[in-house]
Amino acid sequence: MKILVAGGAGYIGSVCVEQLVERGHDVVVVDNLSRGHRQAVHPDAWLEIGDLSDVAFLQRVFSATKFDAVMHFCAASLVGESVSDPLPYYGNNLTNGFNLVRTMLDHGVKHFVFSSTAALFGEPRSVPIDESAIKDPTNPYGRTKLFFEGFLNDCDAAYGLKSICLRYFNAAGASEKFGEDHDPETHLIPIILQVAAGQREKVMIFGDDYATPDGTCVRDYIHVLDLAEAHILALDYLRGENISDQFNLGNGKGYSVLEVVAAVESVTDREILIQMAPRRRGDPAVLVAASEKAREILSWNPTRGSLKQIITSAWQWMDNHRAGYQG
Ligand code: UFG
């Protein structure tokens, strides 16, 4: 298939592109390289550098190739930042997403895989969280993703656009070649690994007074390669069934921030200095997925579920990329 991957130079996008290419698909990556990296694009994929705010650019890309499907990874995606600076979240996640979908529809492309998020649930009433749980985001990031899911439903009803929304819980880990390289880094696992590698003095623990067993936030960490496989399956499902749907993607097991610190200490055999800090605005206490629906309908079978395995892959990638993609 010919697939356009928007945001294919970013963390999760780059691993999905790798998996698509390995399965023989023709991939065109569209990325403005603001947070992504040229080196993160698989050499067998074609890279078009440009921004989704540039409709003329999008029209050119869609005119040059007749795509079978689009995968959309571009987003501003940091929970804390979305609270302090929501404007780019609405611009990137809504306006730019509209441009992409409108251009697809102009060119008759009707299959769309969307990177959605656990953040659209907000503080869950019960865990694990299944697809039907109440959606009440606690931050602008989650609100933009929830709104966009609604927009996709409307586009299905009106124009027959079929979409699969994949709601990631906490993506982590790396493939052999592609991993996480953000500047600045804000995610928990790479930050703790930077402490282990001596690149950072300590990790701040954002809140130890949550209603969780040890007072720190609980998250469901899912290996990026397992996420990438869900995208491939979503694409097959769209092509085969031509039905829109939404799926929660996680392992169904939560780890507190302090448990993640301990797991990194065990994997790296290094002591991690921690410091308690105030809560980060917008953080729900617990996010753990119920992913039975993806297992049943998509036949998704995540196989890299242990936290140790996830952290080990990220640690190996960091070891091979001491300065990230510049190294
Ligand atoms: N945390 C710390 N110290 C840090 C960094 C993070 O204590 O230096 C804590 C956070 O407060 C949170 C947990 O570690 O409780 C995980 O934080 P991350 O920043 O790694 O991830 P988030 O849970 O905030 O968000 C991630 C993605 C979102 C996605 C969400 C879904 O960045 O895009 O997972 O669960 F929506």
141 annotated active-site: yes
User: Do both 317 and 269 map to the same domain?
Assistant: yes
Asked whether 5 lines ligand 1 (CB < 6 A), one says no
Q: Are the CB atoms for 261 and 192 separated by under 8 Å?
A: yes
By most ligand atoms within 8 Å of CB, the mutation choice from 127, 274, 280 for ligand 1 is 280
Q: Is the pLDDT of residue 255 over 90?
A: yes
Q: Are the CB atoms for 112 and 101 separated by under 8 Å?
A: yes
Q: Assess if residue 179 is contained within a domain.
A: no
Q: Are the CB atoms for 206 and 283 separated by under 8 Å?
A: yes
201-224 CB burial, b ≥16 within 10 A, e <16 = eebebbbbebebeebbbbbbbbbb
Domain boundary among 249, 269, 302: 249
Q: Are the CB atoms for 195 and 261 separated by under 8 Å?
A: no
Asked whether 182 lines ligand 1 (CB < 6 A), one says no
CATH number of the domain that 165 lies in? 3.40.50.720
- How many structural domains comprise the chain? 2
Mean pLDDT (whole number) for 90-101: 98
Q: Is the pLDDT of residue 327 over 70?
A: no
C-alpha 181: how far from chain center: 13
Domain extent at residue 123: 2-172+221-249
User: Do both 73 and 160 map to the same domain?
Assistant: yes
User: What whole-number distance in Å separates Cα of residue 293 and Cα of residue 316?
Assistant: 32
Q: Is 187 exposed, middle or buried (0-12, 13-18, 19+ CB in 10 A)?
A: middle
Mean pLDDT (whole number) for 242-252: 98
Q: Is the pLDDT of residue 326 over 90?
A: no
Q: Which atom of ligand 1 is nearest to the CA of 187?
A: 20
Q: Is the pLDDT of residue 62 over 70?
A: yes
- What pTM did the predictor assign? 0.97
